[in-house]
Chain A
Amino acid sequence: MKYLFRKLSLLAFALFVAVTLNFFIPRMMPGDPATELVDKMQGIPPEALESIKVAFGLKTDDPMIVQYFKYLGNIFKGDLGISLSRFPTPVSTVLALAIPWTLGLIGLSTVLSFFIGTVVGIAVAWNRNKRAASWTVGVFIFIRSFPYFWLGLLLIYLLGFRFEVFPVGGSFSPYVQRPSWDFFVSVLYHGFLPALTIVVSSMGTWILTMRNNMINVLAEDYITVALAKGLSLKRIKTLYAAKNAILPSITGFAMSLGFVVGGGLLTEMVFGYPGVGLMLFQAVQAKDYPLMQAIFLFISTAVLAANFLADLAVLVLDPRARDGGR
């Protein structure tokens, strides 16, 4: 109980810090959204700058500290404000458009990558003396060291542009009715390359983690005992070795799920995928503070929550955590 309380208060404090930084950091960027807009768009008379500032609510006499408390109050009320780059649409509406795509693409591929990676990791650890196993590990370590976006660009160029097997970007075809079976197929078709990029490039980490843990566990005495007792190899591999080896991987997985909501910034940019990452990038370019803040808030909350859940999972799975390490 004390452990839980400590974790909860830590969570609250971290959230407060995140929210505060979230307010001040975007405001330290040079420039303001209205000027940015006028500088970028030819055709708006420069005299209109003042009108746009009024529209954006940037002409405020409140000192920074008052603005800060107003912002805190609004967050408690769940009011994230109005997006400036998509004025006058509320931030929550804008964000709601992007979240499903990110959860779908990044979420699914993270889960997929974790499962495939873990299974492969178990297999290569079990067969660690075979040449194929060391080759697999080698290849994925090699791939893992590529940046995501580089792999993405390569796939787009080859499979999308050169051979036209897949679309070069977007998340669905605008020509199909939605919702419909065709729409679903179109989403899968458009999502294949970005998902492949993420799965392939992040799988190496899971393989490696799982393999190393597995090899450690396999050296434990109880495995030798199990072998001596003549238990089936399959049983030893899954229930004895893998079950214990997976603990650290699960913590890592929970953390990476937290980061999912941030979207794969580069992956989404490269593929023009309408998720949170792409939106964040555009919000930064347009100096859209409210949208930026909402996305950061969303990310930090998700990461903290995932951390917290990981702590809880460890509490359940590992008896040592429950009695405070005694």
Chain B
Amino acid sequence: MKKALVVLLLFLVVFATVTTAAVKRGGYINMTPMKQGVLVKNFNPFSPNALEFTLGAFYETLVYYNPMTTETMFFLATDYEWSEDLKELTFTLRDGVEWNDGTPFTVADVLFSVNLGKENQALDQGVLWSVQGLQKVYAADYNKVTFQFEEVNTTVLDYFSNVYILPAHIWKDVPDPLTWTGNENPVGTGPFLYEEGSFTELSYRVKRNPNYWKLGEDGKPLPYIDGVQFISTTNEQAPLKFARGEYDWGGYFIANIEDTYVKADPENHKYWLPEGNLVFLNLNNLRWPFDEYKVRLAMAYAMDPEEITRIMASGAVPASISGLQSSYLFLAKDALDKYGVEYDPDYARELLEEAGYRLNSKGIYERDGKALSLKLYVPTGWTDWVIGCQVISDQLNEIGVEAIVTQAAWPTPYKDNLFNGNYEICLGIAVTGTNPHYQFVRWVHSDNWAPLGENAGNYYGMRYKNETITRALDAYQRTADREEQNRLMAQVVEQFLADMPSVPLFFNPVWFEYNTKTFVGWPNADNPYANPRPSGMDKLPILFTIHLK
């Protein structure tokens, strides 16, 4: 009896593995592009308004850095190598790749695509020439291409996720690539082809490239799906269409998503809101009262991001006090043990008392006749942020700080005030980009620091600089050793927490709705294998995974 059971179990296990191994091919997914309303056939990779599938689905990059898995995925390159002095980066190209018109892909295509940007800044993909200091690009071998840079800067590798390779034999005859509208049927290496005659004002289709170089689990070319049907919509229409299950994949903001979307079909209507750009309480480190560490720290102890995001109900995700996205929290482990902050208004009050502040008759902390009564700026009409600021104001009120929520128009004067340091406290945004270095170098590197009244060059920072941080960020760019880079980043984060120049609050969500009725394999919080953005290369891991149920 027992033996029979074991046999049966074994049989079941084998059966289960066999069935899960066979990925079902076929089907068109319905997707709504980010472009709303009237669609224009725009497959020009140099246009910032190109249709989402132009980049990634038609044209590919050499490599792509996946910020969710923190691994580098190889596309048209199979390997890269830094020279001894770290000034030259050499990619080995993939053998046997063909453009979808049958022409072989060669090193000449790479040279052509990159050199387009040498003279014309508008064609400078990945800002290689204009910002990254690229000096020369040459073929080191029949299948090797070398990029020579002016200075050592290893983070340039991440920018290659934005450098798309175009077929030289098509584009060399285009007089002005930037304004070329004749790209009717794009010749690319990517996993999809434009489906001829499918374009209308509201829709278009792409179909799978039957000769794509990357193979699926079944040994046949990816992707598993037959193609993608795009149907455009508008903000006003989107919630209804999603609730009706018209889309398999969408990237729209939907208010009250649980009730409008999930409730309509709880089995299949799913969403995942991964962390996008960081929103933080921007404290002006050069002005009273935030030029003082204890006051800044008190602000951090007063904030309860969980409550803020819950009341905002905009899908924002509470952020770690380190400002790192969850996939990088391992970098802050030690620093958080040392300097971590948990919501504790009583301790915040203690800190203010320690700094010499005393409650005045109105219940607000005051020192030398100056009360902690400040304007909290928020861009006019950014309703979710305005709600967030009201909660922040309430939380600060708890610790005897009066924050008067004040709306100011974006970009003028809001952004200008940030540029010039003309504020005490406001909501700030820090681009998270591909990795923590990308985020912190724009946020706290001393290059972005300027005295009050002078333009800091960007609007992410809070007039804070620290030599340790700047040195570590610079050193990071001068090594290609991942371990070393992680060590340096951990140092940056630790110093950041030790100084607490500002208070990270929450991440703006990346909107991602998916439907498991017909297709499965979507990324989600349990399996965050890709950033679900339909633009650029981010979508490719998803398109390589999803398949019919």
From 221 to 254 in chain B, residues with beta carbon under 8 angstroms from any chain A beta carbon are 229, 231-234, 236-237, 240-241, 243-244
Choose among A45, A54, A82, A171 the residue that contacts B159 (Cβ–Cβ < 8 A): A45
A34 to B41, CA, bound (A): 20
Q: How large is the interface on B (under 10, 10 to 19, 20 to 34, 35 or more residues)?
A: 35 or more
Q: Is the Cβ of B431 less than 8 Å from the Cβ of A37?
A: no
Q: Is the Cβ of B233 less than 8 Å from the Cβ of A169?
A: yes
In the assembled complex, which residues on chain A have CB atoms less than 8 Å from the CB atom of B241? Answer: 168-169
A54 to B49, CA, bound (A): 14
Interface of B is mostly: loop
Tell me whether B216 is interfacial, beta carbon within 8 Å. no
Q: How large is the interface on A (under 10, 10 to 19, 20 to 34, 35 or more residues)?
A: 35 or more
In the assembled complex, which residues on chain B have CB atoms less than 8 Å from the CB atom of A50? Answer: 121, 130
Tell me whether A48 is interfacial, beta carbon within 8 Å. yes
Q: Which of A9-17, A72-80, A269-277 contacts B (4 or more CB under 8 A)?
A: A269-277
Assuming the contacts A54-B122, A93-B40, asked whether A88 and B535 have C-beta atoms less than 8 A apart, the reply is: no
Q: Is the Cβ of A274 less than 8 Å from the Cβ of B49?
A: no
Mark each residue of chain B from 265 to 279: 1 if its CB lies under 8 Å from any CB of chain A, else 0: 000000000001100
In the assembled complex, which residues on chain A have CB atoms less than 8 Å from the CB atom of B121? Answer: 50-51, 54
Q: How many residue pairs, one in A and one in B, have C-beta atoms under 8 Å apart?
A: 138
Q: Is the Cβ of A170 less than 8 Å from the Cβ of B131?
A: no
From 152 to 201 in chain A, residues with beta carbon under 8 angstroms from any chain B beta carbon are 156, 160-161, 164, 168-172, 174, 178
Q: Is the Cβ of B240 less than 8 Å from the Cβ of A97?
A: no
Tell me whether A226 is interfacial, beta carbon within 8 Å. no
Cβ-closest chain B residue relative to A34: B48
From 125 to 162 in chain B, residues with beta carbon under 8 angstroms from any chain A beta carbon are 126-127, 130-131, 159, 162
A51 to B48, CA, bound (A): 10
Tell me whether B46 is interfacial, beta carbon within 8 Å. yes
In the assembled complex, which residues on chain A have CB atoms less than 8 Å from the CB atom of B494? Answer: none
**B547 → chain A, closest Cβ, in Å?**
22
A168 to B231, CA, bound (A): 13
In the assembled complex, which residues on chain B have CB atoms less than 8 Å from the CB atom of A43? Answer: 533, 535-536, 538
A161 to B535, CA, bound (A): 30
Choose among A34, A41, A55, A171 the residue that contacts B201 (Cβ–Cβ < 8 A): A171
Q: Which of B8-16, B177-185, B485-493 contacts A (4 or more CB under 8 A)?
A: B177-185
Assuming the contacts A45-B433, A174-B202, asked whether A86 and B42 have C-beta atoms less than 8 A apart, the reply is: yes
In the assembled complex, which residues on chain B have CB atoms less than 8 Å from the CB atom of A97? Answer: 38, 40, 201
Cβ-closest chain B residue relative to A278: B37
Assuming the contacts A46-B458, A51-B122, asked whether A178 and B200 have C-beta atoms less than 8 A apart, the reply is: yes
A37 to B231, CA, bound (A): 22
Q: Is the Cβ of A272 less than 8 Å from the Cβ of B236?
A: yes
Tell me whether A282 is interfacial, beta carbon within 8 Å. yes
Q: Is the Cβ of A278 less than 8 Å from the Cβ of B47?
A: no
**B479 → chain A, closest Cβ, in Å?**
22
Q: Is the Cβ of B431 less than 8 Å from the Cβ of A170?
A: no
Sorted nearest first, the 3 A-B pairs with minimum C-beta distance are: A174-B203, A55-B122, A88-B179
From 351 to 397 in chain B, residues with beta carbon under 8 angstroms from any chain A beta carbon are none
Q: Is the Cβ of B409 less than 8 Å from the Cβ of A30?
A: yes
Assuming the contacts A85-B49, A269-B236, asked whether A55 and B178 have C-beta atoms less than 8 A apart, the reply is: yes
Q: Is the Cβ of B277 less than 8 Å from the Cβ of A30?
A: no
